[in-house]
Structure 1
Amino acid sequence: MRQLSRGSKILLCAFAAAASFSVNALAQSWPNSTVTVVVPWPPGGPSDIAARPVAKRLTEDLGHPFVIDNRGGGGGNIGSAAVARAPADGNTLLITSSAPIVINPSLYKKMTFDPSKDLVPITNLLRVPLVLVANPSVPANNLKELMAYIKAQKGQFSYASAGSGTPQHMTGELFKSVTKLEMTHVPYKGSAPAISDLLGGHVPVMFDSMIAIMPHIKSGKVKAIAVSGAQRSPQLPDVPTFAEAGLPAVVSYAWYGFFAPAGTPKAIVNKINAETQKIMKEPAFQKILADTGSDYVGDSPENFAAFVKEESVKWAKVVKESGATVD
């Protein structure tokens, strides 16, 4: 093999040093203008619980405004697609639930973007277990009794969710797939109307995030049957996991993550990750984690990307088995 001359080696080292300096300078100079953080859901939803405090602290720490842009529609696809098409300069970012990232690509017949190619993961922000809850009129107080009751209905049983393609919907489909029970999905436009009909007895059960349903569990207006996390929730210490109740395959979370357009310089991605991790370790964000029943889930971009890939495979299988589609 031909050996490089001493001069060539010096030149290569100089190029490497210049490239390193350029990357570091890029990270140090960012941000130099307002940063738009798109949340592809209406204001006040669970994604805002993570997005608004993070944007506020990034504004304070980095000296430039991080402005939340709630851009709902299309099951999260419209706002997410806008970020996917944005310039990869770190000035347009995305905080979203898992739906448009790992569920919609398998559920929707037409997608205007490919999350796996058009977005780069930065870090997970929240990972909240779901709860299977029942109206008090349902004659079941645990999962075994509920499954027996559903089976006895011979296909005349329904469950509500916050909408087609949501983690709530897909967790219901995962439950159906594992148990082979017949249940009809009743989608709503958000958790609030679904919970309203559950409280009114118009639907017997629903899967929902702990964030939304906890007040109604505490008031006794609904019965908590099981939680979908790997461990019991500190907020519901007496409610078993699905695994403890005999269904180890039913593990599900509603998670919320931070993303940037693909091609965003690695130095900027790493800087956003580092700054966000600092925020997540502060008492104010730790309280958010505690209030939502979430564990600390901040991670490196690489580990979060691996998690997203695993979730994509998992939910693609569930969507296929359910036969669910959205035009």
Structure 2
Amino acid sequence: MNLSRLLGTFALLCAGGLAVPPAQAADAWPAKPIRIIVPFGPGSTPDTMARMTADYIGPRLGVSVVVENKAGAGGNIGTAAMAKAAPDGYTFGITISGPLAANTVLFPKLPYQPARDLDFLTIAATQPSVLVVAPSLGARDVGGLLKDLRDHPGEYNYGSMGVGSISHLAMAALAAKSGTDVVHVPYSTSAKVVTSILSGETHMGILPAAAVMEQVASGKLRALAVATAKRSAILPGLPTLAESGVAGIEADAWMGFVAPHGSPREAEDRFTQEVVRMLKDPAVVAQLAKLHEEPVASTPAGMRAVVQGDLDRWKPVIEANGIRFDQ
């Protein structure tokens, strides 16, 4: 083939978008369905985010995105499944703070090590945790609640989403920092905690906004503060615990995406780009607002910093209260 003919052939290939060799094109990601592992059950906040993500990015990537729920052991079972999955770029996971931070202290042995076995991609969204009380308590602010607790030590209790959950640790920290004695009653879900407060079985709790704000709006629960570093953009009328006199309690209910360590960078970057694109879509932002969630779209480094911050925050609380699982 002479030079002019060769150049002509090259021009045709470029014009037709075929400059990539066939072998390289065949290896382009994604070439098969993707799965997102959720370490909690259907209907949980991470599950809702995973399914929203699957519906949004699947058509953009041109493949199906399947959500798999692997619940149990405080998120450890599903997180272990993420860590042990083949690092081929076709398995991702969505998780919360617990399995990446607090669980590394709560459990003497985990089937995974977050920093070693997982690549952190992005914190997708967050929602504030809210201190709520039954209206029957009478307290209308944090100061009033703490006075009641101090005047009646051990007579009040709070519900949480399980031993070692952020809702447990946040209330334990509140009691310690305020010098009060409040009895812990663990449940398995936020819905069960809310039911317990409504029925009078428990008196209060620090729970994700999505679990409580409908009841707050109807007057069945009273919201006193948010457990965040600064006022929440979605609940601007509520003061922080720090503003209310109890500093150092930050219990943001965030969700983030991870991948098995060593997954192809191309796959991780493209997946993350599509998630970030989704979180900037006005329709998605509006949908998240209805769920009392704010988009974050952090960098991988930002996610690592948040996980480390959570570990530094909750480890002393866990150790001071002797919270531990034997298995």
Common fold: TM-score over 0.5: yes
Code of the residue aligned with 2:110 in structure 1: it is M
Letter of the 2:183 partner, please give it.
Answer: T
TM-score normalised by length of structure 2? 0.88
Contact 1:133 1:205 in 2 (8 A): yes
Matched, 1:232 2:231: yes
Q: Which residue of 1 aligns with 2:205?
A: 206
Kept in 2, the 8 Å contact 1:121–1:301? The answer is yes
- Once residues 186 and 151 of structure 2 are traced to their aligned partners in structure 1, the CA distance between those partners, rounded to angstroms, is 23
Q: Does 1:286 align with 2:294?
A: no
Q: Which residue of 1 aligns with 2:194?
A: 195
1:179 is displaced (CA, Å) by 1.7
Superposition RMSD in Å: 2.0
Paired residue for 2:268? 269
Distance (Å, rounded) in 1 between the aligned partners of 2:37 and 2:124: 15
Deviates more, 1:27-36 or 1:296-305: 27-36
Asked which structure has the greater CA Rg, the reply is: 2
Once the two structures are superposed, what CA deviation does each residue of 1:255-301 show, in whole Å capped at 9, x if it has no partner?
11100011112232222111111111002221133223333310222
Worse overlay, 288-297 or 263-272: 288-297
Residue 101 (structure 1) aligned with residue 112 (structure 2): no
Is 1:112–2:111 an aligned residue pair?
yes
SS in 2 for 1:156: coil
Q: 1:313 to 1:230 in 2, by over 3 A?
A: closer
The match for 1:65 is 64
Which residue is equivalent to 1:255?
254
Report what 1:35 is aligned to: 34
- The alignment-based identity, stated in percent, is 33
User: Which stretch of the first structure deviates more once superposed, 261-270 or 231-240?
Assistant: 231-240
- How many angstroms apart in 1 are the aligned matches of 2:297 and 2:26? 20
1:310 to partner: Cα distance: 2.1
Task: Point out where structure 2 has 5 or more consecutive residues left out of the alignment.
Answer: 1-19
How far is the alpha carbon of 1:175 from its aligned partner? 1.4
Q: How does 1:162-181 map to 2 (within 5 A)?
A: 162-181=161-180
> Deviations 1:46-90 (Å, cap 9, x if unpaired)?
112211111111211101111000111111110110111111111
| Structure 1 SS opposite 2:167 | helix
Q: Is the 8 A contact 1:270 1:301 kept in 2?
A: no
Q: Tell me the secondary structure at the aligned position of residue 155 of structure 2.
A: coil
In the alignment, what sits opposite 1:75? 74
Shift of 1:28: 7.4
Distance in 1 separating the partners of 2:26 and 2:115: 24
Residue type of the partner of 1:82?
Answer: A
Which digits, 9 at most, give the CA deviation of each residue in 1:106-157, with x for residues without a partner?
1123311111211111100111110010011113111001001111222232
3-state SS in 1 of match to 2:201: coil
The 2-side partners of 1:292 and 1:172 are apart by 23
CA contact (8 A) 1:242 1:250 kept: yes
Conserved 8 A contact 1:39-1:96: yes
Question: Following the alignment from structure 1 to structure 2, what is the Cα–Cα distance between the partners of residues 324 and 30?
Answer: 44
Residue 308 of structure 2 aligns to which amino acid in structure 1?
K
Return the alpha-carbon distance in structure 1 between the equivalents of residues 268 and 179 of structure 2.
43
What CA distance in whole angstroms lies between the structure 2 residues aligned with 1:201 and 1:219? 17
Structure 1 Cα separation of the partners of residues 81 and 151 of structure 2: 47
Alignment match, 1:6: none
Moved more, 279-288 or 236-245: 236-245
SS of the residue aligned with 1:252? Answer: coil
**Structure 1 residues 288 and 169 mapped into 2: Cα distance closer, same or farther (>3 Å)?**
farther
Unaligned runs of 5+ in 1: 1-20
Q: In the alignment, what sits opposite 1:245? A: 244
Alpha-carbon contact 1:34-1:91 (below 8 Å) kept: yes
State the 1:97 CA deviation: 1.8
Partner in structure 1 of residue 17 of structure 2:
none
Letter aligned with residue 42 of structure 2: P
Amino acid of the structure 1 residue aligned with 2:117: D
8 Å Cα contact 1:177/1:322 also seen in 2 = no
Q: 1:148 to 1:60 in 2, by over 3 A?
A: same
- In structure 2, distance between residues paired with 1:151 and 1:106: 30
TM-score after normalising by structure 1: 0.88
- Alpha-carbon deviation of 1:235? 4.2
**Corresponding letter in the other structure for 1:71:** K
Deviation at 1:227, TM superposition (A): 0.8
